[in-house]
Amino acid sequence: MIPVIMSGGSGTRLWPQSRALYPKQFLPLVNEHSMLQNTLTRLENLSNQAKPIIIANEEHRFIVAEQLRALTNIQADIILEPVGKNTAPAITLAALQALSRSGNQDSLLLVLAADHDIKNPAEFINVVEKSKSAAIDKNLVTFGIVPTHAETGYGYIKSTDKNTISSVECFVEKPDAEKATAYIESGDYFWNSGMFLFSAKTFLEEISIHNPEILKACKASIAENQSDMDFIRIGKQEFEDCPSDSIDYAVMEKTTKAVVAPLNAGWSDVGSWSALWDLGGKDENNNVVNGDVILHSTKSSYIRSEHKLIATVGVENLVISESDDAILIAHKDKVQDVKHIVNQLKAKQRSEAKLHRKVYRPWGCYDSIDNGERFQVKRITVNPGEKLSVQMHHHRAEHWIVVSGTAKVTLGEQELLVTENQSTYIKIGEVHALENPGKIALHMIEVQTGTYLGEDDIVRLKDRYGR
């Protein structure tokens, strides 16, 4: 059995923590590990488990690789999508990769999203194991969540028998409150989890029948694949020509082989701030608190602080979430509308839609701590053994001050070591590079000055990360 982890989402409803270049699946929202790491570690007791396949956005590749490296016993094939095309093409790529690496021997694929939470992983594994025989018998198994309330944010599945693995009677779009209540009262419906179990060959046979254009494009793109460090890069043009569709529309709603397995394991798609309130441990006034927070006369609220003290007085049913450069305040019943804020930020081309103040790179990270007219100050961390690209700038000069660790600096043809409390200066147009040759992290302050300080004023001449 091959776990297939879909990790390409953007998580806009969890802004300001979730951003386009660092979305929710990479954040520690429910415990100290990221959602992606939790997804992988809950599979530890899955029998006959093969190396996972992770489908990721090209822009997230180094975050995925770093988070896998933090889980020392897990390796994976990481397929990079040059553009997002929804779940049906992503799963098709995974099925083709599974057959390719096994010499066309069939395997079961356990398809999961990277950003779900499951409170009872033992029960989840139990249901997956019980569903194997149905998948081996050429069924497409979807896991239906036993509903706990009339939720309007999920799609629904109607089954022919709610007590066992049974045929799917129909899939239903997200309903209004009245329909959702009727579904719950009937007892015949499950929440659609978006998790699946089927064999690679069975899935490919079904998509060849119901959406052959997706299969054709995915075959063409994966035929052009190239290995790059931890990653599998597919043909960009071929994949850009692929139709965009979800697995539900492309296959599950059309096939005669869809079956649903009931799952009652404390599942959540962590799709909004109210979902995190549902999952969190609550105080005597029904509040969920994370970080430096002081409350007075506050009820039924979710309050998250990452940097600053948050104090509340006389409020109820609010979500307050603070990040390094933004604060969200929303009524708990309106958190689905946070995506409209993100759309406004995008329309205004504001960086807060895409980036955090702290930006992660394959070599470490930087934090933009101050900026003004013709200057910018960054706090830079370079991990041991890592190196920034050999580069130059047309519009800015840089002054580097080492706070701790040792920097190996290349200035034109010259190389020098810069240690704590020492500094160096890079002129406009000078070819330069920065490396950490030591065993501990390098921390330094960078002061940029010039007429233009954007990240696109980087001319990379050589880069070990293929950027």
Mean pLDDT, residues 383-409: 96
What is the pLDDT, as a whole number, of residue 466? 77
The SS3 of residue 42 is: coil
Q: How far is CA 39 from the centre of its chain?
A: 11
What is the pLDDT, as a whole number, of residue 152? 86
What is the pLDDT, as a whole number, of residue 212? 97
Query: Of 13, 18, 48, which is closest to residue 36 (Cα–Cα)?
Result: 18
Angle ∠(330,27,281) on CA atoms, nearest 5: 60
What is the pLDDT, as a whole number, of residue 74? 84
Mean pLDDT, residues 27-36: 94
Rounded to whole angstroms, what are the CA distances from 286 to 30, 298, 344?
17, 9, 32
Residue range 358-462, CATH number: 2.60.120.10
Instruction: Give the residue with greater pLDDT, 280 vs 360.
Output: 280
Contact 112, 33 (CB under 8 A): no
Q: Is residue 106 predicted with pLDDT exceeding 90?
A: yes
Query: Of 65, 89, 132, 43, which is closest to residue 235 (Cα–Cα)?
Result: 89
Locate tokens 């649903």: which residue? 260
% residues pLDDT > 70 (the chain): 100
Q: Are strands 375-382 and 442-450 parallel, antiparallel or unpaired?
A: antiparallel
Mean pLDDT, residues 338-358: 93
Angle ∠(373,376,377) on CA atoms, nearest 5: 145
d(CA 67, CA 446): 26
Residue spans per domain, the chain = 2-268, 273-339, 358-462
pLDDT digits (tens, 9 = 90+) for 353-395: 998 888 888 899 999 999 999 999 999 999 999 999 999 999 9
H/E stretch holding 295: strand 293-296
Q: What are the contacts of 175-184 at 24+ separation with CB within 8 A?
A: 176/152, 177/150, 177/152, 180/150, 180/151, 180/152, 180/156, 181/150, 183/147, 183/150, 183/156, 183/158, 184/147, 184/149, 184/150
What is the pLDDT, as a whole number, of residue 229? 74
Cβ count within 10 A of residue 431: 16
What is the pLDDT, as a whole number, of residue 81? 95
The amino acid at residue 358 is: K
Mean pLDDT, residues 444-465: 93
pLDDT digits (tens, 9 = 90+) for 131-171: 999 999 999 999 999 999 998 889 999 999 888 999 999 99
Residue 11 pLDDT class (50, 70, 90 cuts): confident
Q: Which CATH class is domain 2-268?
A: alpha beta
pLDDT digits (tens, 9 = 90+) for 207-231: 999 999 999 999 999 999 988 777 9
Contact 339, 13 (CB under 8 A): yes
Mean pLDDT, residues 4-29: 93
Q: Which of 273-282, 340-349, 359-368, 438-447 is the least confident region?
A: 359-368
Q: Is residue 467 predicted with pLDDT exceeding 80?
A: no
Rounded to whole angstroms, what are the CA distances from 424 to 168, 290, 431, 444, 451?
67, 40, 14, 11, 20
What is the pLDDT, as a whole number, of residue 64? 93
Query: Of 327, 286, 297, which is closest to residue 310 (Cα–Cα)?
Result: 327
d(CA 257, CA 241): 28
Mean pLDDT, residues 259-268: 96
Q: Is residue 313 predicted with pLDDT exceeding 90?
A: yes
What is the pLDDT, as a whole number, of residue 358? 86
Q: What is this structure's pTM?
A: 0.88
Instruction: Give the residue with greater pLDDT, 345 vs 10.
Output: 345
Mean pLDDT for the chain overall: 94
The SS3 of residue 304 is: strand
